[in-house]
Amino acid sequence: MIKINTDLQPSDLTNKLKRFWELSGEKIRLIENNYDVSKGSPVFTINGQYTTRGWTEWTQGFQYGSGILQYDITGDQSLLDSTRQKVVEVMAPHISHIGVHDHGFNNVSTYGNLLRLMKEGKTSFNEWEKNFYELALKISGAVQTSRWTTIKDSGFIHSFNGPHSLFVDTIRSCRALMVSHQLGHVFQAEGDQRISLLERAVQHMQSTAKYSVFYGEGRDVYDLWGRTAHECIFNVKDGNYRSPNSQQGYTGFSTWTRGLAWAMCGFAEELEWFDAKGNDYPGKETLLPVMIKAARATCDFYINHTPIDGIPYWDTGAPNLYKIGDYLNQTANPYNDFEPVDSSAAAIAAQGLLRLGNYLQKHNEAEDGKRYWQAGLTVLNTIFDEPYLSTDPNHQGLLLHSVYHHPNGWDHIPEGSKVPNGESSMWGDYHAREVALYIQRIINNDTYYTFFNI
């Protein structure tokens, strides 16, 4: 389990963050100058160079969102101008994309961050530009909520696999619905039926908490407190839950750690939204305990099933982990011969740990809150340094040792290695920047970073 550094303070990361942001800017320029955009969105690196991988265009928002986050720290106007222009040129299809569950990734990371910068006074105010960002976010939330499956006790945004499929990572797309609702939008269906975007976001959260997260209550023989299933399968004819499954993890009965991290981060940041913006939601009193339980459980599972330095292996049930030995009581080894680590899961999970820790400390649970907070800082202290921080000036990635789809064999295995290592992903790099911005603002006593400060 993670060996939590209880003495670590955000300010202790100052020098690491300075180096991180310098390297981050270099990586963004490398991609701008060398990546062939005709190939599609950059997804992950091979031998240090970003390449694409056809599935869906779910990473383009992370590419341009990274430039926006970099501007937030450095104030580099030329970077903001070029990134903003790219958002106008290429991101519109993502707003109206009816075939994916990734609107919270692509559109909140770009249009949302640009609107937030204007709201916070970090860019000049322009009424038409504000309206442009708001319209994009409104429509994105409505399109995302149209991917709706009704089940017996609730409903959910279904994945690109079809209406039977609930993905745990879609918890982070709830924010697309929440910002759309926050901007005053509603979803209109057949016969002009007006459907609350917030209510659908809530139902998706409840379904994810109920079916995707396990609580040690005997649902199956592998039921552990905080375990997550990547995918849940439903019978769309009668609305019944059928089974857990996994697309990118080892099995439906083990925990794919990046899916776990999405749940940690999604539940924690959505708790913050209800704290700040959802006081008028009539079901808040019954909803929040469900969300808090899910956030606690997933964060506890991450702490208890991750090596001492906070970097997880790609799946907690990966079949060859036993060959590494007592892997949970030593630092993670990205160069081992048996199973890869996933640093992108660490970057996502760290934000979930920090946000839940902050939330609980605000709500008079200082001891538990500090535990999660310090665990988050412990993870950051690892990923902002070698061997995870990419210092090679020719490597386009920022966060090393990320994996995409290990079961499909999509990840590059370097010569002389037996498992993928040494490569980066666009989502890993983006979320490393996002959590770096989060903690940098706390160090600087700046506005607390949230997706909904729009």
Q: Which residues are annotated binding-site positions for substrate?
A: 102, 258, 262
Dihedral of CA atoms 112, 118, 122, 125 in degrees, nearest 10, equals 160
Check: CB of residue 211 under 8 Å from CB of residue 231: no
In this structure, what token pair is assigned to residue 147? Answer: 């991917």
Rounded Cα distance between 275 and 288, Å, is 10
Cα 383 to the center of its chain, rounded Å? 16
Contacts of 68 (CB under 8 A, 6+ apart): 80, 83, 109, 110, 113, 114, 117
The number of CA neighbours under 13 Å toward the Cβ of 228 is 35
In this structure, what token pair is assigned to residue 119? Answer: 């709201």
Nearest to 360 by CA among 286, 292, 414: 292
Element housing 187 (H / E): strand 187-188
In this structure, what token pair is assigned to residue 111? Answer: 């249009």
Indicate the annotated binding residues: 102, 258, 262
Q: What is the CA radius of gyration of the chain?
A: 20
Check: CB of residue 35 under 8 Å from CB of residue 50: yes
Place of tokens 């919270």: 104
* Cα 180 to Cα 103, 177, 229, 278, distances in angstroms: 11, 5, 28, 13
Report the residue count for the chain. Answer: 454
Rounded Cα distance between 83 and 65, Å, is 8
In this structure, what token pair is assigned to residue 428? Answer: 């890993």
User: 329 in helix, strand or coil?
Assistant: helix
Rounded Cα distance between 426 and 60, Å, is 8
Rounded Cα distance between 260 and 342, Å, is 12
Cα 104 to the center of its chain, rounded Å? 9
Rounded Cα distance between 410 and 55, Å, is 11
Place of tokens 């990134």: 83
